Amino acid sequence: MIARAILAALLLCAAGAAPAQEAPRAAPGAAPAASGAPSPAARERWEKLSPSEKDALRKRWQTFQEMTPERQAELKSRLDRWRSLPPDQRAEIAQTWNRFRQLAPDERREMLQLLGRYREMTPERQGQVRQLFRKMVDAPPEVRQRYLDNLQRWRQMTPAQRDQARDVWRQKGKKP
């Protein structure tokens, strides 16, 4: 739901349906006097949306309006951060989001669980994980595949087998 709210805020601004200022409380597409008079370009983008897209944005706008002021401020801050990104980085993020949405529900759930675990890590551990991830992404395909194969074997091990493997690594002076 949080991701949807963030996406809604992004879509609202991308569609130009509501200005970024604090005051407007009208639904997107309302008369200009009620919504803070969107720019002609924003109005044009709004008019190009299908009725179902407009309805979806109106519902998301309503959800946003029902949020606490603190939550709204948090979303606005994230939107400002989004707007400050270079266009190529925003495009890359949008592509990643679209790929995520195309995953099977079980895969999406697993990804969200991993993200939750990542967010619970200390900043130091997050840095280590990012560094390992970059290392894996930059690795040749055969090294990456070997890692994924080992990861699959690790997941199939029992806790006792994992402890045994850790003991072997420690004896060899390697980190698990």
Sequence spans of domains, the chain: 2-84, 127-172
Instruction: Report the distance separating Cα 66 and Cα 64, nearest Å.
Output: 5
For residue 26, what pLDDT is reported? 47
Contact criterion met (CB below 8 Å) for 57 and 8:
yes
Query: What's the start-to-end Cα distance of the chain, in Å?
Result: 36
Q: Two tokens at 138?
A: 């930059």
> In which band, very low, low, confident or very high, does the pLDDT at 145 lie, cut at 50, 70 and 90?
confident
Amino acid in position 38? P
Dump pLDDT digits (tens) for 96-113: 889 888 988 988 898 899
Instruction: Report the distance separating Cα 29 and Cα 58, nearest Å.
Output: 8
Instruction: Report the distance separating Cα 154 and Cα 165, nearest Å.
Output: 9
Which of 102, 22, 94, 29 lies closest to 59 in space, CA to CA? 29
Is the per-residue pLDDT at 32 higher than 70? no
For residue 54, what pLDDT is reported? 92
Q: Which residue has the higher pLDDT, 134 or 31?
A: 134
- The count of residues in the chain is 176
Work out the percent of the chain whose per-residue pLDDT is above 70.
78
3-state SS, residue 24: coil
Which of 32, 89, 26 lies closest to 57 in space, CA to CA? 26
The reported pTM is 0.47
